[in-house]
Amino acid sequence: MADKEIDRVSGTETTGHEWDGLKELNTPLPRWWLWTFYATIVWAVFYWILMPSWPLVNDYARGIRGQSQRAIVMEQVAALKDMRARTGAALADASLQDIQADPGLLDFAMANGRAAFGDNCAPCHGAGGGGAVGYPNLVDDSWLWGGDPDAIHQTILYGIRSAHEETRFGDMPAFGRDELLDSGQIRSAANYVRSLSGLDTEAGADLAGGEAVYLDNCAVCHGDDGKGMQEVGAPNLTDGIWLYGSDLDTVVHRIRVGGGGVMPPWVDRLDPVTIKSLAVYVHSLGGG
Ligand code: HEC
Ligand code: HEC
Query: Could you please report the per-residue DSSP string of 195-230?
Result: HHTT----TT--HHHHHHHHHHHTHHHH-TTS--BT
Q: How many domains does the chain have?
A: 3
* pLDDT value, residue 188: 97
Residue 221 in this model has a pLDDT that exceeds 80:
yes
Q: Is 5 within the bounds of a domain?
A: yes
pLDDT tens for 183-192 read: 999 999 999 9
Contact residues for 240 (Cβ-Cβ < 8 A; gap 6+): 197, 198, 246
Domain encompassing residue 105: 73-166+264-286
Q: Which atom of ligand 1 is nearest to the CA of 230?
A: 27
235 Cβ closer than 6 Å to some ligand 2 atom? yes
Q: Is 120 within the bounds of a domain?
A: yes
Q: Is 80 within the bounds of a domain?
A: yes
In sequence order, what DSSP letters do the residues of 76-91 get, joined into one string?
HHHHHHHHHHHHHHHH
Tell me 124's DSSP state.
H
> Whose C-alpha lies nearest to ligand 1, atom 18?
261
Q: Is 174 within the bounds of a domain?
A: no
| The last residue of a domain, from among 10, 34, 67 | 67
Q: Which amino acid is at 166?
A: E
261 Cβ closer than 6 Å to some ligand 1 atom? yes
Say yes or no: 143 and 198 in one domain. Answer: no
CA–CA gap between residue 271 and residue 267 (Å, rounded): 7
Strand partners, 160: 168, 263
CA–CA gap between residue 223 and residue 67 (Å, rounded): 70
Query: Which long-range CB contacts under 8 A does 117-126 form with residues at least 24 apart?
Result: 117/278, 117/281, 117/282, 120/266, 120/269, 120/270, 120/278, 121/278, 124/263
159 Cβ closer than 6 Å to some ligand 1 atom? no
Q: Is 146 within the bounds of a domain?
A: yes
CA–CA gap between residue 288 and residue 284 (Å, rounded): 9
Ligand 1: centre distance to CA 50 (Å): 57
Average pLDDT estimate for 81-98: 91
Q: Where residue 274 sits, what CATH number does that domain have?
A: 1.10.760.10
* pLDDT value, residue 62: 87
CA–CA gap between residue 96 and residue 110 (Å, rounded): 12
Contact 96, 149 (CB under 8 A): yes
Average pLDDT estimate for 254-266: 96
Q: Is the pTM of this model over 0.75?
A: yes
Contact residues for 40 (Cβ-Cβ < 8 A; gap 6+): none
Q: Which amino acid is at 181?
A: L
Residue 91 neighbours by CB distance under 10 Å: 23
Say yes or no: 80 and 148 in one domain. Answer: yes
| The last residue of a domain, from among 29, 52, 67 | 67
Mutate to test the pocket of ligand 2, among 160, 218, 263 (most ligand atoms within 8 A of CB): 218
Residue 288 in this model has a pLDDT that exceeds 70:
no
229 Cβ closer than 6 Å to some ligand 1 atom? no
pLDDT tens for 2-54 read: 578 898 888 889 998 989 989 899 998 999 999 999 999 999 999 999 999 88
> Whose C-alpha lies nearest to ligand 2, atom 15?
260
* pLDDT value, residue 287: 65
Contact 126, 285 (CB under 8 A): no
* CA-based nearest residue to 153, from 274, 269, 235: 274
CA–CA gap between residue 244 and residue 138 (Å, rounded): 15
Say yes or no: 131 and 244 in one domain. Answer: no
Say yes or no: 156 and 78 in one domain. Answer: yes
Q: Which atom of ligand 1 is nearest to the CA of 134?
A: 12
pLDDT tens for 109-133 read: 999 999 999 999 999 999 999 999 9
CA–CA gap between residue 124 and residue 136 (Å, rounded): 9
